[in-house]
Structure formats: C-alpha cells, structure tokens
A and B are shown apart, each in its own frame.
Chain A
C-alpha cells in the first residue's frame, strides 16, 4: 500500500537553512510534490519533481530525491519568518487519476 511519512516538527532560526524530509513506500510513484499550508488556509503547491530526476532547484527551494531509498527532501535556503507553515509531501502515480497520497505534514517554526 501507499504510505508517506514525515517528521511532525522542525524549528530553525531565521536565516538558516531548513531541511524537511519525507519517505514514501510506493515505488511506482511518478512524481512527488511539496505543498505549503499557512494557518487557516488551503494548500499551495511549492514545487514538484519527477521520479526520474535526482534534484530540482527553484530559487530558495531545493528538492532532492533518492529513489533507491524512497526519500525526498525539501531544503529552504535563508529561511524567513514567512516560511513558517506546515509542509506536506505528496506522491502521485501515472494513470492514478491524479490522486495524491499526502504525508502527515511537518510544521516548520522559524524563530528570530
């Protein structure tokens, strides 16, 4: 079955880098996503990576994928207080009807 796991909390100082980790179990995953949820709001897509890629960089965001270990990470450089939110990883499968399996979410707290 599909299972996506994340650690629940992460606390960093402003200006430091944040690394949020995710593990998944379905080896047939085609693409993996990172979503951000701010308090009281819906989910906002941050970035995604196809399963045939190892890394993707998008401004302050770097996504690393280790397909062998089924491990996905999101690095946020120069973390700001506005980055405080819950971050969800999600996996999707080709032909899966665009259905996503979400992780439990990691709450990132950025301290001054």
Chain B
C-alpha cells in the first residue's frame, strides 16, 4: 500500500492562477479531508468528504473547491490563487467517519504552495 499520496510536493503560482492539488489513497478509506498548515496556527480543516459524492465544508473553505467522484481520489482546487493561500496543504484519510470509535487519520506528505 502506498497510503496517502499527494502531488505535487512543491508549487509556485502567481496571483489569479488556478490549480488542483491531488490526493489519493489506496486503503479503501471512506473519509478524506484537506487541511492547511500555517506557522503558529496548527492545522485547519478546509473541506472533507465522508464518501464518494459527498463533501462538506470545514473551518476555512473560502477559495477552495473539492469533489469526490471516486473513493480513492479527493482533489482540492484553487480557482483563483491569492497570496493568503500560501501554506502547506495536507490530505488525510480514515476508514470511517462516525467519530463514535477511535479512527486513525493517515496523513499524506504535504504540498508546499507559494502564491506570489
């Protein structure tokens, strides 16, 4: 198993450009999520999905779109990049999402995005 993979590892964009951050998992996990990590602020949830075809907003969703057409993939789209979106982005997945029992979230290695 490759676990959770993310591409690209690094990306530099100009303000107003669009791009898609890719995330894939091969563990047949139902739950997938995107976080951004900023200095001194920990990780903040952007969007999450509890299964194919189902997505919902997290704490900081503005400026980002997601879709979940398959169980394996959960891409994050920046439609018009802004300098405030300079961050490290992590994708995570877990087998279930009920929250009623412990459910380990597995994290990808991250994508470092700089918006000039």
Stretch at the interface among A10-18, A58-66, A69-77, A86-94: A86-94
Q: Per a CB cutoff under 8 Å, which of A30, A40, A90, A98 touches B31?
A: A98
Is the CB–CB distance between A100 and B45 below 8 Å?
yes
B53 to chain A, nearest CB (A): 16
A100 touches which of B4, B50, B105, B109 (Cβ 8 Å): B105
Question: Given contacts A104-B40, A104-B41, are A98 and B98 in contact (CB under 8 A)?
Answer: yes
Most buried by B among A42, A48, A97, A104: A42
Q: Are B43 and A8 in contact (CB under 8 A)?
A: no
Contact call B104/A95, Cβ cutoff below 8 A: no
* Distance in angstroms between the alpha carbons of A48 and B94 in the assembled complex: 15
Assembled-state Cα–Cα distance A109/B94 (Å): 30
Select which of A40, A45, A50, A104 is within 8 A of B105 by beta carbon: A45
Interchain CB contact under 8 A, A41 and B109: yes
- Given A43-B90, A103-B42, A105-B42: A98 in contact with B107 (beta carbons within 8 A): no
Fill in one digit per residue for B6-36: 1 if any A CB lies within 8 Å of its CB, else 0: 0000000000000000000000000101010
Nearest Cβ in chain A — how far from B14, in angstroms?
Answer: 25
> B64 within 8 Å of A by Cβ?
no
Determine if A102 and B31 form an interchain contact, defined as CB atoms under 8 angstroms apart: no
Which one of B4, B107, B109 has the greatest number of beta carbons of chain A within 10 Å? B107
Chain B contacts for A104, CB-based, 8 A: 40-42
Which residue of the partner chain, among B35, B97, B109, contacts A98 with CB atoms under 8 Å? B97
Interface string of A23-62 (1 = CB under 8 A from B): 0000000110001000011111100101000000000000
Can you offer 9 A-B residue contacts whose CB atoms are under 8 A? A8-B40, A31-B102, A41-B110, A42-B108, A92-B99, A94-B100, A95-B99, A97-B99, A102-B43
Interface residues of B (CB under 8 A from A): 4, 31, 33, 35, 40-45, 48, 50, 56, 58, 90, 92, 94, 96-100, 102-105, 107-110
**Closest 8 CB pairs between A and B?**
A42-B107, A102-B42, A102-B43, A98-B97, A43-B107, A104-B42, A42-B109, A96-B99
